[in-house]
Copies of this chain bind each other. A is one copy, B any other.
Amino acid sequence: MADRPATLRDVAAAARVHPATASRALNPETRLLVSEDTARRVAAAAAKLGYRPNPVARSLRTRRSHTVGVLIPDLNNPLFPPIVRGLEDKLAAAGYVALLGNTDADANRERMLFEQMRARHVDGFVMATATLHDRMLAEAAAAELPVVLMNRLSQDYSFPSVSVDNEQGARMAVAHLARLGHARIAHIAGPQEASTGVSRLRGFRDGMAQHRLTVNEDLVTYASRYTVEEGAKCCRELLARRESGDDAAFTAIAAANDMLAVGCYAAFDETTLQCPDDLSVIGFNDMPFIDRLRPPLTTVRFPHYQLGTEAAQLLLERINGGEGPVKILYLAPELIIRGSTASPAHRDAAHEPAMSQEPADPSAADAPAVHT
Contact = CB atoms under 8 A, between A and B. Distances in A.
Contact of A85 (B53, B76, B294): B76
Interface string A38-76: 000000000000001111110110000100000000111
Interface in A183-235: none
A76 B81 contact: yes
Contact of A56 (B52, B84, B85, B121): B121
A25 interface: no
B102 A99 contact: no
A292 interface: yes
Contacts of A84: 75, 100
How many chain copies does the complex carry? 2
A282 B85 CA distance: 29
Of A55, A118, A265, A295, most buried by chain B (CB within 10 Å of CB) is: A55
Interface in A263-283: 265
A57 B121 CA distance: 11
A78 interface: yes
Interface of A: 52-57, 59-60, 65, 74-76, 78, 80-82, 84-85, 88-89, 92, 97-100, 102, 116, 118-121, 262, 265, 288-289, 292-295
Given A57-B60, A98-B100, 8 more contacts: A75-B85, A76-B85, A78-B289, A84-B100, A89-B102, A289-B289, A289-B293, A294-B295
The 5 lowest CB-CB distance pairs between A and B, nearest first, are A294-B294, A75-B81, A56-B59, A52-B119, A56-B60
13 contacts: A52-B118, A54-B121, A55-B119, A56-B56, A56-B121, A60-B60, A75-B84, A78-B289, A85-B102, A88-B100, A262-B292, A289-B293, A293-B293
